[in-house]
């Protein structure tokens, strides 16, 4: 693997660093409040104005047609500049790649530029109360009607749903277990939303109830009955590359090392180890990006990255609290969020089973 940056990549890094140096916002209110949600959308619209919200997307959809390596460089600079988490991440990092690969030309032309600007903010609607981690067991269904489909059922733990404008998820269109699922996008207008409070009391999630919610035919992604295959591509993006870039953890590790500067040598050593592990994840991810750019699929190996970054993030925030004790206010929100890392995007227990069976070939 080539570890050297090209001249063009170095120039891109300099451009991004310079722009963020003049535009990075002050700390914004939490995105899980109405005011914070609006403030994050305004910031991301500004980012889109500089064509920096989706750098690896084609230019006609608001991107720069940049490589995955450029995207990783952008992410490093973004987090190093102290910029906030993205309220649009469900759309641009999960649905967006699926639309680029499986959407019709009309779907791509309509939805992707809006997603890049933050005009629409998408909620992810995978989980159901009775399905647990077995996504193929979901029971929410879709019935055909004139001009489209009617959606029925109950989804839960839907991130960003309290304030999102649209959602995407799987609904059952036949009795077949995996082949009976279809991938739908839908407006949130007629969906009954019940916010769910996180540990910090804010509605980071919501329950969704569908009682015949209409969505037009044009909101079906891919073919009817092919939802499982598309969803697996979405989850691979989520776990393997786009959901959590190394830049986020490198920035956290740098803060941690600085915090531990004059601390007990044992604690300082643990902080240094976290920095080394963040750098190891960076190198692993650059290798993954190079393989994707060469035409390879990530496949089930994506689960390895998800396990690694979620457990590293938890270790770093726990150590920060250990270092600061009751002065850890600046790290507390991050710590609470890191607790969820081993759970969301598929629990780490499920990811370990995937690695054992599909990567290592061990028996069930």
For residue 139, being part of any structural domain is answered with yes
Closest CA to 224 of 273, 288, 153, 174: 174
Q: Residue 221: phi, psi to the nearest 5?
A: -100, 120
Distance CA 182, CA 174 (A): 9
Residues 154 and 257 in one domain: no
Q: Check residue 257 and give its pLDDT.
A: 96
Q: Is 238 a known active-site residue?
A: yes
Q: How would residue 147 be classed by pLDDT, with cut points 50, 70 and 90?
A: very high
pTM: 0.89
Distance CA 62, CA 216 (A): 25
User: Is 37 a residue whose pLDDT tops 60?
Assistant: yes
H or E element in which residue 21 lies: helix 7-23
Q: Which residue of the set 44, 75, 76, 238 is catalytic?
A: 238
Lookup: tokens for 199: 């540990």
Q: How would residue 300 be classed by pLDDT, with cut points 50, 70 and 90?
A: confident
CATH number at residue 73: 1.10.540.10
pLDDT tens, residue by residue, 74-119: 999 999 999 999 999 999 988 999 999 999 999 999 999 999 999 9
User: Is 271 a residue whose pLDDT tops 60?
Assistant: yes
pLDDT tens, residue by residue, 246-257: 999 999 999 999
For residue 105, being part of any structural domain is answered with no
Q: Check residue 112 and give its pLDDT.
A: 97
CATH number at residue 158: 2.40.110.10
Domain termination residue (choose one: 202, 225, 248): 225
Domain that holds residue 196: 122-225
Q: Check residue 133 and give its pLDDT.
A: 63
Residues 244 and 355 in one domain: yes
CA atoms within 13 A on the CB side of 239: 29
User: Is 132 a residue whose pLDDT tops 70?
Assistant: no
Label residues 269-306 b or e (16+ Cβ within 10 Å = b): ebbeebbebbeebbeebbebbeeeeeeeebebbbbbbb
Domain termination residue (choose one: 225, 248, 265): 225
Per the structure, the count of domains in the chain is 3
β-strand 148-155 against 205-216: which pairing, if any? Answer: antiparallel
């Amino acid at each position: 693997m080539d570890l050297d940056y090209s001249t063009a990549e170095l120039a891109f890094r300099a451009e991004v660093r310079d722009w963020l140096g003049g535009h990075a916002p002050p700390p914004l209110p939490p995105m899980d409040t109405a005011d914070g949600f609006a403030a994050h959308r305004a910031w991301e619209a500004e980012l889109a104005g500089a064509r920096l919200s989706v750098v690896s997307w084609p230019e006609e959809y608001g991107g720069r047609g940049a490589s995955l390596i450029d995207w990783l460089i952008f992410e490093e600079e973004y987090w190093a500049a102290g910029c906030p988490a993205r309220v649009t991440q469900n759309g641009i990092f999960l649905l967006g790649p699926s639309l680029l690969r499986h959407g019709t030309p009309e779907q791509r032309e309509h939805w992707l530029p809006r997603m890049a600007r933050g005009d629409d903010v998408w909620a992810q609607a995978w989980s159901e109360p009775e399905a647990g981690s077995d996504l193929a067991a979901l029971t929410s269904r879709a019935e055909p009607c004139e001009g489209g489909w009617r959606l029925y059922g109950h989804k839960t733990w839907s991130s960003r749903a309290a304030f999102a404008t649209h959602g995407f998820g799987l609904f059952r269109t036949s009795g077949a277990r995996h082949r009976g699922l279809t991938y739908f996008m839908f407006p949130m207008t007629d969906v009954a939303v019940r916010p769910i409070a996180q540990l910090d009391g804010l509605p980071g999630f919501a329950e969704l109830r569908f009682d015949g919610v209409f969505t037009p035919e044009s909101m079906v992604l891919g073919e009817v009955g092919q939802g499982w295959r598309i969803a697996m591509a979405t989850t691979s993006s989520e776990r393997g590359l786009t959901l959590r870039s190394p830049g986020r953890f490198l920035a956290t590790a740098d803060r941690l090392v600085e915090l531990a500067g004059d601390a007990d040598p044992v604690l300082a050593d643990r902080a240094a180890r976290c920095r080394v592990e963040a750098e190891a994840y960076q190198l692993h991810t650059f290798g993954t990006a190079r393989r994707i750019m060469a035409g390879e699929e990530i496949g089930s190996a994506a689960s390895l990255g998800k396990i690694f970054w979620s457990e590293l993030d938890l270790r770093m925030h726990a150590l920060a609290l250990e270092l600061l004790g009751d002065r850890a206010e600046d790290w507390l929100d991050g710590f609470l969020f890191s607790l969820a890392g081993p759970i969301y995007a598929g629990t780490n227990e499920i990811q370990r089973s995937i690695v054992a069976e599909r990567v290592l070939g061990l028996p069930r």
